[in-house]
Structure 1
Amino acid sequence: MRYVEDHRRRTHSRIVENASYGLRQKGAEGLSVVDLMKLAGLTHGGFYNHFDSRAALVGEAVAFAMDQMTARWKKLANGKANGERFEALVADYLSTRHRDNPKHGCALPTLAVDVARSSPSEQQALASKLEMMIDVLVELLPGESQPRQARQIATGAIATMVGSIVLSRAVGAGKLSDCILDAGRRTAGGPARKARRRTIEAMRCKKS
């Protein structure tokens, strides 16, 4: 019995992970239940042994992808000086590597529009994980003591980052795409640079 349950959990996780990669690459509207199961090397016959509906699988796959991104952000922040963490994260997100590799990138640029047209369960899954992503960014802001202000900055940065990736992919790799990424980095990272300068100036005042 224990083996059966363990096998079922592993299979469930495999379906979710592979569905997550496929959805990020092709979008939620482009994959049927048959397609999603095929990504995990399975037939669609066993789908309802694991999920109540296609929306349930999509919701879990979106959550998986966003958890991956949050974990990446935390890993990038480790070892960075406090004033450099936010901008390092922005630079990594708005990179040509991320633009050219949607399969292993953030779910939001590919799936946000699809989820907006989908079921409340999928929307709820995305919203809860987005809140967690915002929380991570808030923690990385240097010298921002006002929680409400910090949250506005973090939310605006994510909106800028996601929009920049969407547009940079839409125009195809090239000069304009690179310019969009550069503009996004400057805009999203601007508040963090200002906050870092304020912190440095405050420290200098204390020393003097």
Structure 2
Amino acid sequence: MRYSEDHKAQTRQRIVEEAARRFRRDGVSATSVQTLMKALDLTHGGFYAHFKSKDELVEEALRHCAIELDAVTPVSLAGDQPLESLIRRYLSKTHRAEPAKGCVFPTISAELGQRGQASPVTDEAVNQRLAQISAHIDSSQDAALVLSAMVGALLLSRSVVDPQVSDRLLDETRASLLRLINAELPET
């Protein structure tokens, strides 16, 4: 039985979305093509009707994650302080607890660097996020610091067992970044 082109496109999109979720949650190396396809009730061999290789899927999933990045942690939030809102949402316990729905940078950046296969899609996403942050801050150097600190703090907060240490990483980084951008800190 032959499927329509629409069915093929929908299946490809399902694969990309599931891969994006799993790459953010588990990483690229821990996500096998076989496990991915099984989770979607598809055959391992069927993967190759949609992608030439896992590397092609990684690029497509990264594009998908980059598009979702603004939905996860938008800089263009309504209100007077979009950068403050971004910092607060990014360095939150909710974002920490949901890596499969969150920013791809903490999960995939180190892995791509270790593989020796950086991605132009990551370049685009990082440059886009830096430009968005720069629009709300005085210095492009500070924009790089804000992005790097957020990603690093989130990554570290997910990697420790002690909830107090995890919370401290988020709380202290958030407070430092809010001071950097001259945001109002809540009374403690």
Give the TM-score of the pair, scaled to structure 1: 0.79
Who is 1:165 aligned against? 154
Who is 2:83 aligned against? 86
SS at 1:104's partner residue? coil
Question: What code does the residue aligned with 2:131 have?
Answer: D
Question: What code does the residue aligned with 1:48 have?
Answer: Y
| In structure 2, C-alpha distance between the alignment counterparts of 1:67 and 1:23, rounded to whole Å | 15
1:185 equivalent to 2:174? Answer: yes
How has the CA–CA distance of structure 1 residues 174 and 46 changed in structure 2, closer, same or farther, with 3 Å as cutoff? Answer: same
Give the CA RMSD over aligned residues: 2.1
Contact 2:72 2:101 in 1 (8 A): no
Contact 1:86 1:137 in 2 (8 A): yes
Once the two structures are superposed, what CA deviation does each residue of 1:128-185 show, in whole Å capped at 9, x if it has no partner? 211112122223x15x3xxxx2x22222111000110111111135111111101110
SS at 1:24's partner residue? helix
| In structure 1, C-alpha distance between the alignment counterparts of 2:131 and 2:10, rounded to whole Å | 30
Contact 2:157 2:170 in 1 (8 A): yes
How far off its partner does 1:99 sit?
Answer: 0.8
Match of 2:119 among 111, 123, 134: 123
Larger Rg: 1
| In structure 2, C-alpha distance between the alignment counterparts of 1:137 and 1:41, rounded to whole Å | 40
How far off its partner does 1:119 sit?
Answer: 5.8
SS at 1:30's partner residue? coil
SS at 1:77's partner residue? coil
Name which of structure 1's ranges 176-185 and 164-173 shifts more when overlaid on structure 2: 164-173
Give the TM-score of the pair, scaled to structure 2: 0.87
- The alignment-based identity, stated in percent, is 32
Contact 1:161 1:184 in 2 (8 A): yes
How far off its partner does 1:103 sit?
Answer: 0.9
Who is 2:103 aligned against? 106
How far off its partner does 1:27 sit?
Answer: 1.0
Question: What code does the residue aligned with 1:135 have?
Answer: A
| In structure 2, C-alpha distance between the alignment counterparts of 1:188 and 1:24, rounded to whole Å | 24
Aligned residues: 182
| In structure 2, C-alpha distance between the alignment counterparts of 1:57 and 1:99, rounded to whole Å | 25
1:156 equivalent to 2:145? Answer: yes
**Relative to total residues, which structure has the larger helix share, 1 or 2?**
1
Contact 1:22 1:103 in 2 (8 A): yes
How far off its partner does 1:57 sit?
Answer: 0.5
Structure 1, unmatched stretches of 5+, are: 197-208
Structure 2, unmatched stretches of 5+, are: none
